[in-house]
Amino acid sequence: MKKWILMLLATLTLFSVGIYQGSVHAGSIKTVKGVNKKISKDLKLAKGWADGSLDEDGNPTDSGTPNQDWAWTAYVSKIKYSSSDKESLGDLRVYVNQEFLNLGKHDRNTVIKNSIRYSYDAINDYYEMSYDDMKEGPMTDIFLAKTPIGISRLSNHFKFKWYE
């Protein structure tokens, strides 16, 4: 029952922000490369909503209003998913920009947590995420270009160790 309610809330949330298009279920994306393409496309939309360059339908606009709900995307360059098979949740790499380093620990954690949760839609199209998968989250590495700057903790994938 909890899984159904969580999935319903996630679907309603995605529908309300314009990402959810049609009936999507696990298995509709066949490859990890497909997951990464969807994450990249969705991140581009979110960045447009954040800076007001896209309207709610994802169309370019000159008179858009920046949406603070998506402000975290200003610090994220890309999100990459990896998985060796469809039997495990896999891992994430979140690539951040230089401005990310100016954030305090709380704000850094918020940006990375949002990045993780934002990837769920695409990952669930490849690997059917359970309630426990969503609650635990994927193991996540954080990079500035090619330099690792943080990693999620083994005991809690939503808490991070920063290398500074």
pLDDT in tens, the chain (164 residues): 444 444 434 444 443 444 443 333 455 678 899 999 999 999 999 999 999 998 888 889 888 889 999 999 999 999 999 988 777 788 999 999 999 999 999 999 999 999 999 999 999 888 888 889 999 999 999 999 999 999 999 999 999 999 97
Closest alpha carbon to 114 in 82, 71, 56:
71
Give yes or no for a contact between 43 and 78, defined as CB atoms under 8 angstroms apart.
yes
Angle between helix 105-126 and 32-51 (nearest 10): 130
What element of type H or E holds 94? strand 91-96
Which residue in this structure is represented by tokens 């193991």?
Answer: 139
Q: How far is CA 21 from the centre of its chain?
A: 17
Beta bridge partners of 140: 92
Encode pLDDT of 27-73 as tens digits. 567 889 999 999 999 999 999 999 999 888 888 988 888 999 999 99
94 Rama class: left (phi>0) / alpha (psi -120 to 50) / beta: beta
Closest alpha carbon to 95 in 147, 139, 51:
147
Closest alpha carbon to 96 in 83, 108, 106, 104:
108
Confidence (pTM): 0.80
Give yes or no for a contact between 92 and 83, defined as CB atoms under 8 angstroms apart.
no
Give yes or no for a contact between 81 and 36, defined as CB atoms under 8 angstroms apart.
yes
Q: What single DSSP character describes residue 53? A: S
- Tell me what pLDDT residue 4 has: 41
What element of type H or E holds 47? helix 32-51
